[in-house]
Amino acid sequence: MPSTMKRIRSTDAVELENGDHCKLAGWLQEVRNLGGIAFLKVRDRYGVFQVVVLKKELGDDFDHIVNIPRESVITVEGKKQETDQTELGYEILPISIRIDSEAHKPLPLGVVDKVDAEMGTRFDNRFLDLRKEEKRTIFELRETLLRGLRDFFAKENFIEINTPKIAAAGAEGGATLFKVDYYGRDAYLAQSPQLYKQMLMGAGFERVYEIAPAYRAEDFDTIRHTSEFVSLDFEMSFIDSSEDVMDMTGRMVEHSLGYVVEHSSNMLEKLGVEIEIPKDPIKRIPHHECLEILEDLGKTWDEEPDVDTEGEKMLGLYVKENFDTEFFFITDFPSKLKQNTFYAMRKDDEPSLTTYFDLEYKGQELVSGGQREHRYEVLTGQMKDLGLELESFEHYLKSFKYGMPTHGGIGLGLDRFVQQMLDLENIREGILFPRDTSRLEP
RNA sequence: GCCCUGGUAGUGUAGUGGCCCAUCAUGUGGCCCUGUCGAGGCCACGACUCGGGUUCAAAUCCCGGCCGGGGCGCCA
């Protein structure tokens, strides 16, 4: 019978003396039955340990043990025996084996099968999919990245905030919002914390950041969009220009990626990923120069020239080849392209341009940000030009009437950050339970 | 929203008018095997997304439904 001995991790058993008794537990990954001897491969979060059972010692129990279905949860108590024939350098000679949870057969998705599964099958059985080490490693690394980001913001004296995810109106005009029933009233899931961040600048918080879900009811079907994603937003006051925001953004990326490399190099090795930490300052290329570069590269446009998806990829390769970096800012977005972003500040000396920028990472948009318009009259003017009803923004606009500092900030797609950092083919790989146009469960 | 593409055993696939009561692998079940680690050997089990149509004949062609994958627009 299992004793009251405490269960230890597979990797902690490495430290035990040869012959020590211990208790380990995990999922029975596979049984290698050779007839008179069988090897059980048991997996916990940290590794895979081996249990050796002999038929001549166990008799009928042997047949029972080797027939435990794969992926059942078992607890093994026994003696540690060192060996150079297993990955962890030891194996367990069991005294008792307890089945805590017998797995049904067949598995809807093999954990260590030699055949791949399609994404649909994998996400329908995500808990099984995540039993694979490389899938779980993605989320260990995602957590390290988050820790690195929070570490940066703490050092820079930002306050982590939480703003409402249900609101009466959308933050930005034109965006597609999910409608919900709020005690009989129409309400919408937040697609950005933008307006709240700005109101907190008016409240005197000076530096805030939020890491929270955002919702977009757009009909996209791509490898870089989901309907629910985690948005990292920061906002800072008393800036001189959007240069201050870009500088902060660059150092944020530099610090967080450096943090991942410093704390999780073993995990990166498991995935075979090498991370480039951007050199500060990150290269800035004005939007109009991007278009010139693209033209030189032979790109043509059917309509108004812009940095479209193809252009982003081309520019990503261009900076990689010419400047040996995976990062660059596209700056000075034309006002025409940012028309819906009513809070974007236009350049005083060149109103056809905004202070807005994107940060591109490996040829994909990662960050969007800039200096916000803090002058009440200018802001409301831009909103009127867009045809917005000022009344529905009453609470937002009020915060601009009684002392609003200059400010700016960014929004970063955390899932995209993970995707690009780890070279994941699809953004969904870095999301535990993704939501897209067709998937609402699990 | 527009465009492309797909749906065959639990899983992944081959087959694109008759050679198919459907290939291979993996899995599952059984038997053999005392050092396996992509274990090996032998045997067995298990499938054409749904509805309609064309045809002597449909997994295969056509129409529609349902469910996926991807591109663009847009965006993080």
User: Residue A157: which of A210, A233, A204, A208 has the closest Cα?
Assistant: A208
Q: Is A107's CB less than 7 Å from nucleic acid strand B?
A: yes
**What pLDDT is attached to residue A264?**
95
Q: At what angle do helices A414-421 and A133-155 cross, to 10 degrees?
A: 120
The C1' atom of B33 and the CA atom of A107 lie apart, in whole Å, by 27
- At residue A1 the predicted structure's pLDDT band, cuts being 50, 70 and 90, is low
Which of A80-84, A112-116, A117-121, A315-319 has the weakest average pLDDT? A112-116
Q: With a cut of 0.85, is the ipTM above it?
A: yes
**What pLDDT is attached to residue A400?**
97
pLDDT tens digits for A8-67? Answer: 999 999 999 999 999 999 999 999 999 999 999 999 999 999 999 999 998 889 999 999
Q: What is the pTM of this model?
A: 0.93
The C1' atom of B23 and the CA atom of A359 lie apart, in whole Å, by 50
Residue A228's beta-bridge partner residues?
A215
Residue A232 pLDDT greater than 70, yes or no: yes
**What pLDDT is attached to residue A287?**
95
The C1' atom of B64 and the CA atom of A227 lie apart, in whole Å, by 29
pLDDT tens digits for A104-143? Answer: 988 999 999 888 889 999 999 999 999 999 999 999 999 9
Helices within A92-221 (DSSP H only): 119-124, 126-129, 133-155, 194-202
**What pLDDT is attached to residue A318?**
95
Query: For A143-169, what is the mean pLDDT?
Result: 95
pLDDT tens digits for A389-406? Answer: 888 899 999 999 999 999
- At residue A186 the predicted structure's pLDDT band, cuts being 50, 70 and 90, is confident
Which of the nucleotides in strand B have any atom less than 7 Å away from a protein CB atom? 1-3, 10-13, 25-30, 32-39, 67-76
Side by side, the strands of the sheet bearing A407-413 are A159-160, A207-215, A228-237, A407-413, A364-371, A357-361, A327-331, A284-286
**What pLDDT is attached to residue A36?**
92
User: Residue A237: which of A198, A210, A193, A192 has the closest Cα?
Assistant: A198
- At residue A214 the predicted structure's pLDDT band, cuts being 50, 70 and 90, is very high
Residue A174 pLDDT greater than 70, yes or no: no
**What pLDDT is attached to residue A2?**
52
- At residue A172 the predicted structure's pLDDT band, cuts being 50, 70 and 90, is low
Q: Is A310's CB less than 7 Å from nucleic acid strand B?
A: yes
Residue A171 pLDDT greater than 60, yes or no: no
Q: How far apart are CA A133 and CA A427, in angstroms?
A: 18
The C1' atom of B70 and the CA atom of A1 lie apart, in whole Å, by 54
